[in-house]
């Protein structure tokens, strides 16, 4: 296997996402890879719903709560960290971002914030695993 240089870690603020991040840190420390944390804003699904300032502010606060602790954790471990955000369907945003960014690996925590929706729609980690051609490590 080629040396890993870029690892993508989807972040949602959950303990499970942080477990995925911890595993990515272990991998990065061994390979010198750079970790990119990726947070996806949830946008309104129905047409005609206006994305209000309050919705935008709430989404921004959630992103800060997910990315801030992740950044601190990676930096304390001595690894390199970048972050990006996207908006839309979480799984497809992760897959598209990973492919466009030419990441070597996606490390994702299983069973994040999805909750009851995940039982009916399938988990984000499952979606990512099946829709991308990039190696995926799912951390439970």
Task: Give residue 132's pLDDT.
Answer: 97
Percent of the chain clearing pLDDT 90 (strictly above): 69
Specify the higher pLDDT residue, 140 or 46.
140
On the question of pLDDT at 118 being above 60, the answer is no
Sheet holding 80-87, edge to edge: 80-87, 34-41, 6-10, 105-109, 136-139
State the Cα torsion 64-38-128-110 to the nearest 10°.
Answer: -50
Instruction: Count how many domains the chain has.
Output: 1
| Any domain includes 30 | yes
* 102: containing domain: 6-106+126-139
Q: Does 78 fall in a domain?
A: yes
Q: Is residue 120 part of a domain?
A: no
- Mean pLDDT (the chain) is 88
pLDDT value for 135? 97
39 inside domain? yes
Pairwise CA distance, residues 113 & 6, whole Å = 25
What is the per-residue pLDDT across 41-99, written as a single tens digit (0 to 9) for each?
Answer: 876 666 566 777 888 888 889 999 999 999 999 999 999 999 999 988 899 999 999 99
Q: Specify if 88 maps to a domain.
A: yes
Instruction: CATH number of the domain at 11, please.
Output: 3.40.50.620
* pTM (two decimals): 0.88
Do 99 and 134 form a contact (C-beta atoms < 8 A)? yes
Q: Could you tell me if residue 12 is inside a domain?
A: yes
């Amino acid at each position: 296997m080629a040396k890993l240089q870029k690892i993508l870690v989807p972040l949602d603020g959950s303990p499970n996402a942080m477990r995925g991040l911890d595993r990515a840190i272990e991998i990065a420390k061994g390979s010198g890879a750079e970790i990119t944390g990726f947070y996806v804003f949830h946008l309104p699904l129905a047409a005609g719903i206006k994305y209000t300032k309050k919705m935008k502010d709430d989404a921004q606060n959630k992103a800060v709560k997910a990315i801030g602790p992740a950044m601190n954790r990676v930096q304390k471990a001595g690894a390199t960290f970048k972050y990006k955000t996207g908006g839309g369907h979480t799984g497809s945003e992760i897959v598209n971002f990973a492919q466009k960014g030419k990441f070597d690996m996606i490390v994702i925590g299983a069973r994040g914030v999805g909750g009851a929706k995940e039982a009916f729609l399938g988990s984000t980690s499952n979606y990512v695993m099946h829709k991308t051609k990039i190696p995926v490590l799912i951390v439970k």
